[in-house]
């Protein structure tokens, strides 16, 4: 009986010691927060990914590089951002507080891309078909430009010879003087007279030559 009593007390002591040890090593969650900055300029890195490695879960830093999440002592935190090298950080196991802050810096990562040759067509056969089916304009760019310039020059000349009331009166008097001067003679040809052409174009635009009912 005495042996059984000793054995029972030994079992109680073992279970009590194991429970105390488990409580001693039980980890409590901590509020892990901080700021992610660039190592060269110390500027905040916006929208950095912060992931707990064992859970594959985490958060994303805001525009100012600030982050905050719940983790446990000993967890490995992964910091990653585009054009920066990935960083692994382990939260210390010997924390005595339920909060831990960190300023994590990231180093820029330069990626060299291979050279790329851009071709307008995938193959020679497709280029040949497209070239044969191409419809060339009758006039080249130079001829089209010259035609446009000729039209603009004609419009400019019309604007230059556009007359107001005083000029119309002056032109009427000149015509009357010419009639008296060339009375009984053959009057000159106005085919090359710019004023006559301006009057003709203006009359045509006003509809003076349309048939009237």
156 pLDDT above the threshold of 70: no
> Highest mean pLDDT: which of 5-9, 88-92, 200-204?
88-92
13 pLDDT above the threshold of 70: no
What would the two tokens of residue 159 be?
Answer: 């604007």
Within the chain, which residue ranges are assigned CATH 2.60.40.1120? 29-106
**% residues pLDDT > 70 (the chain):** 57
Q: What is the mean pLDDT of the chain?
A: 76
205 pLDDT above the threshold of 90: no
Average pLDDT over residues 43-65: 94
180 pLDDT above the threshold of 80: no
Q: Which CATH class is domain 29-106?
A: mainly beta
Average pLDDT over residues 111-138: 75
pTM of the full structure: 0.44
């Amino acid at each position: 009986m005495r042996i059984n009593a000793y054995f029972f007390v030994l079992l109680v002591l073992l279970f009590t010691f194991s429970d105390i040890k488990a409580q001693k090593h039980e980890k409590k969650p901590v509020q892990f927060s901080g700021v992610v900055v660039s190592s060269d300029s110390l500027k905040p890195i916006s929208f950095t990914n912060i992931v707990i490695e064992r859970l594959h879960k985490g958060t994303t830093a805001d525009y100012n590089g600030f982050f905050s999440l719940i983790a446990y002592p000993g967890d490995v935190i992964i910091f990653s951002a585009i054009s920066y090298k990935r960083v692994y950080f382990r939260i210390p196991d010997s924390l005595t507080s339920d909060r831990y802050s960190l300023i994590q810096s990231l180093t820029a990562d330069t990626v060299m891309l291979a050279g790329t040759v851009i071709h307008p067509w995938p193959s020679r056969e497709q280029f040949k078909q497209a070239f044969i089916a191409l419809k060339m304009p009758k006039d080249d760019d130079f001829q089209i430009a010259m035609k446009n310039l000729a039209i603009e020059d004609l419009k400019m000349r019309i604007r230059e010879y556009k007359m107001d009331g005083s000029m119309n009166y002056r032109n009427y008097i000149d015509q009357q003087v010419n009639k008296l001067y060339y009375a009984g003679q053959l009057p000159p040809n106005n085919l090359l007279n710019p004023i006559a052409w301006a009057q003709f174009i203006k009359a045509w635009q006003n509809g003076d030559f349309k048939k009237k009912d």
